[in-house]
Amino acid sequence: MTTALADRTGDTLGKAAHENFPVAPFFLPRAWRTDLMAVYGYARLVDDIGDGDLAPGGADARYLGLGPAAAEDRPAMLDAFEADLLRVFDTAGTGPRHPLLAALRPTVRRHDLTPEPFLGLVEANRQDQRVRRYATYADLLAYCELSANPVGRLVLGITGTTSPERVRRSDEICTALQIAEHLQDVTEDLGRDRIYLPAEDMKRFRVEEADLRAPHAGASVRSLVAFEAERARDLLDRGTPLVRSVHGRLRLLLAGFVAGGRAALAAVGAAGFDVLPGPPRPTRPRLLREVGAVLLRDRGER
């Protein structure tokens, strides 16, 4: 791997440190960590394409067989990225061109992963290019089915723990994590002309788009954010039994996912639900306390 290529891969994978939840913590088996980071690299890169957050210079476009100028054409980049993804699953071909997709190929083969969850993440980013507002909570949940839930299903696939009940619980956790992130990033998303607060809820709480552009949230915005945070908390509660359905280090990993969501929502609450100045982020001590609380709750309900 060339230095430039290693830097590009490292830039993407390095973003894992800024997530609300631990992506591939040290206590997991090395093989799991490798595979989880390969999936994270894929998910992070497709989001960076959809958000226009690629590194300057057009390297990603060149890896995908496009000219550097194509890096600004998000639909074209997503199409090329999807075509390269399909090369991951083409056992007769030469393999994908992009290094992060090349790193994904061994993971897919080891665990016999299917294209559907990966394609869902691409489609979520396509949807981001054409859908800027969500009329109802049901519409937002349908988006999360593409943008968030595939990641949890891939974690279950990598760890060999997939079952219908676990997938349902995982979906609830992943949707909650996505909603929590949306609440943290209201201002950032608005800068991209996106609002993930359902219009029906904005109307209920008498919130206008202009209210979201203020330096600080007024009472109506705070009430709306608190309402959505409670929804996310309820989803986490419903998904938490997933933790006690598994054993060993996987239980600790999944507890970390749930705790990351709880800690993020606690940070939003600690900010008085005023998310407009910038994203409230949980502290590491708070995250660790939440991990302990999830595990204690798990023990108490067994």
pLDDT tens per residue, range 196-218: 999 999 999 999 999 999 999 99
152 vs 166: CA distance, rounded Å: 10
pLDDT at 48 over 70: yes
Distance CA 247, CA 111 (A): 19
Going by C-alpha positions, the residue among 84, 87, 8, 20 that lies closest to residue 48 is: 8
Question: What integer pLDDT is reported at residue 302 of this predicted model?
Answer: 53
- The band of 23, judged by pLDDT with boundaries at 50, 70 and 90, is confident
* pLDDT score of 238 more than 50: yes
State the chain's mean pLDDT as an integer: 93
Whole-number pLDDT of residue 7: 53
pLDDT at 250: 95
CA distance 178 to 101: 24
pLDDT digits (tens, 9 = 90+) for 128-183: 999 999 999 999 999 999 999 999 999 999 999 999 999 999 999 999 999 999 99
Question: CA 136 to CA 138: how far, in whole Å?
Answer: 5
- What pLDDT score was predicted for residue 84? 98
Does residue 12 carry a pLDDT above 70?
no
Percent of the chain with pLDDT over 90: 86
Q: What is the predicted pLDDT for the residue at 296?
A: 87
pLDDT at res. 207:
98
pLDDT reported for residue 49: 97
Report pLDDT for 2: 46
18: left (phi over 0), alpha (psi -120 to 50) or beta: alpha
Banded model confidence at residue 24, pLDDT cuts 50, 70, 90: confident
